[in-house]
Structure 1
């Protein structure tokens, strides 16, 4: 079996550099992974592209929460995708749903058209659809290159049967990229169980903030006050161990 391609989900330029150094084949660049990943700043994207020795894919997600966007939100997504066409980015990561849990084909097609010749991945909005088989056919009709999925479950191990079925249904028409709590202990089981050629994980660790002074009376953005004094980083050792397991 060919060695799978490994994509790392990272936050910011430091996360990108750590993942690249640890051997990632490709990176999905995000901001705010605590919300599942939001569109990073243009300066962050440019810094990553400048430093990149591997392909950089950028998530296009204007806010956290659901994938049902207002018209004005969607227009910003199209503008973001269009702008990235001149930034040396290899791909974009998108996802739009209808209220009844289907792929929004009209919007997805518009984003795909705006993205070309960049690669297009549908993110885990796919995992929030009402019918995985129907959603997969919709993405194929829209010309999407790959879909990121945990098999519509919290973890890839739980969703393994759906991942396998999706990969069989795809039949080479779209890449199924597995994700969902993957680590060095389980990634080979998921790889082999669903016969996947691409895998995606984050390998994050939380470390204490370097701040010596801490104001106990205020928290930013409605978060717990303790969160203000934690930093989430890509764990290079965990990345290396998981990649080694995936490619063994």
Structure 2
């Protein structure tokens, strides 16, 4: 039977250790919190991988801003996937859109294919797609296993009914992972509406870029 699990977005080495020590099932490793998370450098990836027993996904996002990428940026993303695959990560997190707000199936498929057999999550680029119902089908077709989303709300609380609807549309074909302002103060409300799934939080509560161990424990308690 499927159960709720917890992924912690980690922006530094300390957060990764804190996540593991306090009950996270998986981390998403990134840098540059103020930009919403970008590809971490290889030294950090190696260091974290050597210290962690839990699963570790790595974001592949060359810059902040929108999710429409140049050919050069796409090449950079491909190189990062190839390099980090060799370092023993468990999965990747990325998302590419077209100018018109639709999923760029061609480019996403190329990256999913490169990442194979590792699991791929489509990140919060989903929260700015024009047609979420169509986007779900495009992402399933592209080979993604998970969609990280706030339900297109400012945060998961605002997007709660959309998350419920998205999960119904997705069924068991792709996992809907709530994330975006998810904290111990609202996770109970969200989890009561949804079928068991992964939940995503940075667990940062004090204005730094480092996860709060007590917050991770609290999140864990509500799952």
Shared fold (TM-score, shorter chain, > 0.5): yes
Distance 2:160 2:194 in 1: 7
Look up the SS of the partner of 2:62 in the other structure. coil
The equivalent residue for 2:69 is: 69
Two-structure CA RMSD over aligned residues (Å):
1.3
Q: After superposition, give the CA deviation of every residue in 1:14-57 in whole Å (9 maximum; x if it has no partner).
A: 11111111110000000011110010010100111101110000
Distance 1:197 1:109 in 2: 24
Superposed displacement of residue 3, structure 1: 3.4
2:47 pairs with 1:47 = yes
Q: After TM superposition, list the pairs within 5 Å mapping 1:64-143 onto structure 2.
A: 64-143=64-143
Consecutive unaligned residues in structure 2, runs of 5 or more: none
| Contact 1:161–1:194, Cα closer than 8 Å, also in 2 | no
Q: After superposition, give the CA deviation of every residue in 1:41-75 in whole Å (9 maximum; x if it has no partner).
A: 10100111101110000000000000011110011
Matched residues, number: 223
Superposed displacement of residue 192, structure 1: 1.9
Look up the SS of the partner of 1:233 in the other structure. coil
Distance 1:67 1:2 in 2: 32
Distance 2:209 2:123 in 1: 21
The runs of at least 4 aligned residues of structure 1 exceeding 3 Å deviation read: none
Distance 1:3 1:72 in 2: 40
| Contact 2:2–2:196, Cα closer than 8 Å, also in 1 | no
Look up the SS of the partner of 2:53 in the other structure. coil
Q: After superposition, give the CA deviation of every residue in 1:117-150 in whole Å (9 maximum; x if it has no partner).
A: 1110000001110011011110000010100000
Q: 1:149 to 1:65 in 2, by over 3 A?
A: same
Structure of higher RCO (CA pairs closer than 8 Å, 6+ residues apart): 2
The equivalent residue for 2:211 is: 234
